Structure 1
Amino acid sequence: MDFLNKLDTDTSLSIFCRLNDPSDVVRASAVSRSWRDLVIRYGLSKNLCFKLFHQLTCVDRVNDESSGWSKLLEREHRAFALLAKGCTSSPITSCIADAIVASSTDNFPEECILNTLDERDRIGATPSYWSSSGQHKTSVPETLVYKLKGDLCVVTEFSIHPFQAYFQSGSPIYSSHYVRFRLGHLDNKSQEKNNYVWTYTSQQFAMAQENRLQNFKLPEPVVCIGGYMLIEFLGRVQTQELDGLYYICVSHVKVMGRSLAKSFRLVDANDKSGKVGLKVVSYCDPREMGEEEVGQRPFRQMVRNHLDKLLYFRRR
């Protein structure tokens, strides 16, 4: 006996909405035609997505050209079921794709933001780090902007390694008092290049003046809609003996989370409403996806190529 035939719709929905695992919703839709009809008709996969990650409420339509499904509700069910599964169970990996810009740089390109993509604080005998410009006031902040791997990333944790200047007297560590993180997207309405809209801002995390990779875990996973991240360094703690100015220096930045780049793209952004469309790229199980893109160059080689290009243009 199918108990749904004995219950009214509101009671049935009350029972099904207690399913908090995306896989359970999919399993329920496979039990019978009546169960499948209930799950799809009332968008239970979509509602669970929004319940687990409220940032996804800006997604208001699915653009799916690969499946050939004609019914909108069925297409949405399949897409949001995959999205919920990817956000909760795909592999946690490093999410940074590229370094974009720093608010200031002391010696460019030797001390540029690209150095923070390499885990080492020195390459051979050459120090590898980003350095801000010097300031007389400790209150002057600094920012670093990065591109993440894909339009949708579920970010769980950030890590920053302050740089210790082993070549200076006393080997000072140029950390900051606090650090804060923002997630967002490019501002399509702006006429200026590289303007961003930050849709999520973390709390301030206290930073230690220690030569180690320091981890900052978010209170709960956050979906980055748009694929950009900003790091704010608040409060300078270390002066340079040579000029008496305060600097902030970082040798490595790391972001951990779940990249959904192989499954989804964002399309048809509406600047007025803030809504975006979701395009399904692949229906492969996100848990089985490897970290590296096909044809992607080795990470360190990419960094070195960037630096070689910068040094070339500086010589020119």
Structure 2
Amino acid sequence: MECHEDFISYLDSDTSLKILECLDDPADLVRVTCVSRSLRQSVIANGLCKQLCLRMFPQLSRVAFVVELNEQGGKQHAEVGSSNSMEWLVLQREHRVFSYLSKALMSSVAMNCIAKTIGASSTDNFPQESIDHTLEPRDVIGGRYSYWSSNGQSNPNVPETLTYELVSQICLITEINIRPFEAYFQLGSPIYSASSVRFKMGHPKASLDAVDDELFVWTYTSPEFPMSQENKLQTFKLPEPVLCIGGILQIELLGRVQRQEMDGLLYICVSHVQVLGGSLSPPFNVEILQPSGIFVLKRDQLASEEPKIVRDIRRLVTILQARGAGVLEWDQDDDDIYDSDPEYAL
């Protein structure tokens, strides 16, 4: 017990690396870097924080490189020196960025991440039945029913899409909630749901002047979820949380089940849509590199390194504004772990 030597120094590099790769909690990796200099160098040199983030969120595999912004808002440049020192500075920067990113991913607060609508594949009566109405949770506004309606079709297999812009270009999405519309004003109060739904996330290719698949690059497509013909907010939880890079989400409504008695055509109508998750901006942002679709991950140091009490108040305000949405787990002790490392000290 009187010996305080680092046991890692007695292991060969492959063995120590295999041990460290067994860690599956980002906070544990940060703890390891506080134990000894050799452990810290091993974690940074092997990019273990980046590897763990990639395992948790495969969408990060499209990161070309990372950039840190200093307090003046400019890019942080490496100092002049040997190629080895330059490489080490790059590894240190990646370690810092992905460490803070993993912390942000694990402590995100659940909120509705829709910023605005982009468009629908079709609309029966515009603007009375436009996609904009799906952002409103109330059934009736100003004495009028609030919902989106597709055009009528005789073929039940004709799909529809609703496309939204999220609150930032980098969001962690956990579930999408949809309430089909029940037409109380029609005989029998029919519910115009779809048979199933599927979700796509990605980024625009160019402008968003029109809704067309050619304008978007989809980097994630969910499994297909069955939809019930019920007038309630139906929850579609993703198999794993998804990092939406580019800030675009599209809902595919597949299969028509309800025929309108007036014209005999099949419609899909949606009353309300929620996209639950958390925004990572600030302090993180992305820059999509066209036409490759790879992106630059940017971290704003000034936003990352605000005083701890300010972070706590910001989280509390976000929780209070979440309109009853659940809160992802936040362990205050993990904040202390990051702050205890001189690399992360405020």
Per the normalisation by structure 2, the TM-score is 0.79
Q: Does 1:264 align with 2:284?
A: yes
- Distance (Å, rounded) in 2 between the aligned partners of 1:224 and 1:240: 36
Q: Which residue number in structure 2 is paired with residue 283 of structure 1?
A: 304
Q: Which residue number in structure 1 is paired with residue 150 of structure 2?
A: 132
1:119-161 Cα distance to aligned partner (Å, 9 max, x none): 1111142110001111121111110001112111121111100
- Distance (Å, rounded) in 2 between the aligned partners of 1:149 and 1:27: 32
- Distance (Å, rounded) in 2 between the aligned partners of 1:248 and 1:201: 21
Conserved? CA contact 1:129–1:163, under 8 Å:
yes
Paired residue for 2:273, among 228, 245, 253?
Answer: 253
Return closer, same or farther for 1:202/1:267 CA change in 2, 3 Å cut-off. same
Return closer, same or farther for 1:173/1:224 CA change in 2, 3 Å cut-off. same
Return closer, same or farther for 1:192/1:162 CA change in 2, 3 Å cut-off. closer
1:22-81 Cα distance to aligned partner (Å, 9 max, x none): 111111112222222111121111111111111111112111122657422211111101
* Higher deviation after alignment, 276-285 or 105-114: 276-285
Q: Which residue number in structure 2 is paired with residue 46 of structure 1?
A: 50
Runs of 4+ aligned structure 1 residues displaced above 4 Å come to: 190-194, 284-289
Q: Does 1:17 align with 2:21?
A: yes
Conserved? CA contact 2:177–2:233, under 8 Å:
yes
Conserved? CA contact 1:185–1:197, under 8 Å:
yes
Q: Which residue number in structure 2 is paired with residue 180 of structure 1?
A: 198
Q: Which residue number in structure 2 is paired with residue 305 of structure 1?
A: none
Return closer, same or farther for 1:213/1:191 CA change in 2, 3 Å cut-off. closer
Q: Which residue number in structure 1 is paired with residue 117 of structure 2?
A: 99
Paired-residue identity, %: 52
Instruction: Map 1:79-94 to 2 at 5 A.
Output: 79-94=97-112
Return closer, same or farther for 1:178/1:209 CA change in 2, 3 Å cut-off. same
Q: Which residue number in structure 2 is paired with residue 123 of structure 1?
A: 141
* Higher deviation after alignment, 279-288 or 134-143: 279-288
Q: Secondary structure at the match of 1:230?
A: strand
Q: Which residue number in structure 1 is paired with residue 30 of structure 2?
A: 26
Paired residue for 1:225, among 245, 252, 260?
Answer: 245
Paired residue for 1:66, among 64, 70, 76?
Answer: 70
Return closer, same or farther for 1:77/1:225 CA change in 2, 3 Å cut-off. same
Offset at residue 216 of structure 1 (A): 0.8
Q: Which residue number in structure 1 is paired with residue 339 of structure 2?
A: none
Instruction: Map 1:121-200 to 2 at 5 A.
Output: 121-188=139-206, 195-200=215-220
CA RMSD of aligned residues (A): 2.4
Gaps of 5+ in 2: 79-88, 324-346
- Distance (Å, rounded) in 2 between the aligned partners of 1:72 and 1:283: 19
Return closer, same or farther for 1:23/1:266 CA change in 2, 3 Å cut-off. same
Q: Which residue number in structure 2 is paired with residue 243 of structure 1?
A: 263
Conserved? CA contact 1:264–1:279, under 8 Å:
yes
Offset at residue 191 of structure 1 (A): 10
Gaps of 5+ in 1: 299-316
Return closer, same or farther for 1:69/1:42 CA change in 2, 3 Å cut-off. farther
Offset at residue 268 of structure 1 (A): 5.1
Letter in 2 for 1:150: S
- Distance (Å, rounded) in 2 between the aligned partners of 1:28 and 1:238: 58
- Distance (Å, rounded) in 1 between the aligned partners of 2:163 and 2:50: 31
1:180-232 Cα distance to aligned partner (Å, 9 max, x none): 111111114x8986610111111111111111001111111111121111111
Paired residue for 1:207, among 194, 213, 227?
Answer: 227
Per the normalisation by structure 1, the TM-score is 0.86
Conserved? CA contact 1:146–1:229, under 8 Å:
yes
- Distance (Å, rounded) in 1 between the aligned partners of 2:129 and 2:118: 14
Q: Secondary structure at the match of 2:69?
A: coil
